[in-house]
Amino acid sequence: MAIRPAEQLIHKAAWLYYAHGLRQDQVASQLNISRASVAMYLRKARETGIVNISTSTQLFTDDVLARKLEDVLSLDAVWIAPENDHIADPSTEIAVLAASVFLELVKKGDRIGVAWGRTVYMIADVMSYADLQDVTVVQLCGNLGAPYSYRPDQCTMEIARRLNAKGLNFYAPLVLSTEELARALRAEPVIREQLSGVSECDLALYSVGAVDADSHLVKCGALTPSEMADLRSQGAAGVIAGQIIDAEGKVLDCSYNRRVISAELASLRAIARRLVVVQEDSKFEPLLAAIAGGLCTHLVVGAHMAQRLLDHAAATIEKAS
């Protein structure tokens, strides 16, 4: 009985413990193993998603602020992570909340589009394991060759791993050196298929990038700081799935965008649930752009950002009237 402790035993232990409510020693005697082993199995069961512990995120939508934001920005749902009191690290708080919200939004059989970035990777990192075998996680945009730690494929694969789902990477560079090459590559059947499959997603997860020298696009060499500054003066307001958008949330008409291999914004908008998570307060304008462009239906932000959004909306309405 020392061969292959196997899923089987883990399952049984988890079943007896969590579903029947037995104590670990009772489980141990039923299964003829030591209690220590049971404890270990149970940990594994939790880690692999055989048991699922999830907490309602309702607390964060019950907030009046969240409700107001939903109304004023016409979003389906908003979650606000508290930042006021002795919270050690608000950005972690946001990531943890976003991970829970994400898991709550996923349904069996879903196809999920995932973009990339520090925020997305942080969410993946704190996401608890689940066992969603008939779920597919697809990468929304091309890869960056640069030795950068939040690569699009890493984000996709990590989330797929956590969910025990199928991961669908796509191996094209995010940005090419000429528009021609980008066009040609987009026409490739493999790539075209992947791109057209995006609109069949049921759920999307992304953050939004800022248009400044700290942007990921600059850090990993897709754009130089001066190019970025140029784009900014041309009206660039944010970055979504590797593409530059203007203040209205439309793709900016520029060479860079034409050289990018990524899901079209129209495809993104075709996804029913679009979860946008923003950690940094500095991403206020990019977020406004994303919302303006209808790229967001579900939003997770910190309390401070939420307040800014609400104030801004109020000011806009006042000005209009």
Partner DNA sequence: TGCCCAGTTTGACTTTTGTCGAGAGCCGTG
Partner DNA sequence: CACGGCTCTCGACAAAAGTCAAACTGGGCA
Binding stretches for its own copies (CB under 8 A): 7-8, 11-12, 14-15, 18-20, 30, 45, 49-56, 58-59, 86, 96-97, 100, 107-108, 131
The reply on whether position 53 binds DNA by CB under 7 A is: no
The reply on whether position 3 binds DNA by CB under 7 A is: yes
> What values do phi and psi take at 193, rounded to 5?
-60, -50
First to last CA, the chain: 77
**Smallest separation, CB 42 to DNA (Å):** 5
Beta-bridged to residue 300, according to DSSP, are 79, 277
Query: HSE on the CB side for 75, CA within 13 Å?
Result: 32
> What values do phi and psi take at 94, rounded to 5?
-65, -40
The reply on whether position 64 binds DNA by CB under 7 A is: no
Question: Binder to DNA among 20, 43, 67, 183 (CB under 7 A)?
Answer: 43
Question: Binder to DNA among 37, 61, 164, 199 (CB under 7 A)?
Answer: 37
Length of the chain counted residue by residue: 321
The reply on whether position 47 binds DNA by CB under 7 A is: no
Q: Which two tokens stand for residue 189?
A: 């059947």
Q: Which among 22-30, 49-57, 109-117, 220-228 is the span making contact with DNA, rule CB under 7 A?
A: 22-30
Question: Binder to DNA among 7, 11, 12, 40 (CB under 7 A)?
Answer: 40
Could you tell which of its own copies, DNA, none binds residue 146, using a CB distance below 5 to 8 A set by kind? none
CA 233 to chain centroid, in Å, comes to 29
Distance CA 258, CA 107 (A): 34
**Smallest separation, CB 126 to its own copies (Å):** 9
The reply on whether position 33 binds DNA by CB under 7 A is: yes
Q: Print the binding letters for residues 279-318 with DNA: x by CB under 7 A, - otherwise.
A: ----------------------------------------
**Smallest separation, CB 60 to its own copies (Å):** 9
Distance CA 271, CA 205 (A): 10
Could you tell which of DNA, its own copies, none binds residue 49, using a CB distance below 5 to 8 A set by kind? its own copies
Could you tell which of its own copies, DNA, none binds residue 50, using a CB distance below 5 to 8 A set by kind? its own copies
CA 264 to chain centroid, in Å, comes to 17
Contact 270, 297 (CB under 8 A): no
- Sheet containing 203-206: give its strands across: 77-81, 298-302, 273-277, 203-206, 111-114, 136-139, 166-168
**Smallest separation, CB 29 to DNA (Å):** 11
Q: Which is nearer to its own copies, 93 or 246 (CB)?
A: 93
Could you tell which of its own copies, DNA, none binds residue 192, using a CB distance below 5 to 8 A set by kind? none
Give the contacts of 173 (CB within 8 A, at least 6 positions apart).
142, 143, 144, 145, 261
Q: Which two tokens stand for residue 236?
A: 């660039």
* Residues near DNA, by CB under 7 A: 1-3, 5, 9, 17, 23-25, 33-37, 39-40, 42-43
